[in-house]
Amino acid sequence: MLTREETIVKVLEDKKAVNVEVIDLQNKDYIVDFVVIATTLNAKHGFALLNHLKDELKPSGEEFLRVDENEDWTVIDLGDAFIHLMNEKTRDKYSIEEFLSELETNKEG
């Protein structure tokens, strides 16, 4: 059985998303436990990916708490995870992976 993260990656890759990356943030000082980033081919592809994710994840009880979408970038809030579907130009411009890699590790105590 696939984990939720693996299911998300499988759906995105099966539907031709490019450069799908999962960033584990469970031990980092950030508002979610993980982020999935994927590059879309165009605006319609981004909207289609969102619908495929809903079709695949909602039956297992996943809640899409908030979705912000435009033709360049869709952000899906699952509560403890974000999914970013971005066209290549937007992904290069904002380089979220770089920002997230620089987060401090949580220091208990």
Whole-angstrom distance, CA of residue 73 vs CA of residue 58: 21
Cβ 74 vs Cβ 90: under 8 Å = no
- pTM value is 0.93
- 108 inside domain: no
Q: Residue 24 sits in a domain of what CATH number?
A: 3.30.460.10
- 106 inside domain: no
Domain count for the chain, please give it: 1
H helical segments located in the chain? 4-14, 43-57, 88-94, 96-101
Cβ 66 vs Cβ 82: under 8 Å = no
Whole-angstrom distance, CA of residue 97 vs CA of residue 37: 8
Cβ 50 vs Cβ 85: under 8 Å = yes
- 21 inside domain: yes
What pLDDT was estimated at residue 38? 98
- 66 inside domain: yes
- 19 inside domain: yes
pLDDT by position in tens, the chain (length 109): 899 999 999 999 999 999 999 999 999 989 999 999 999 999 999 999 999 999 999 999 999 999 999 999 999 999 999 999 999 999 999 999 999 988 877 655 4
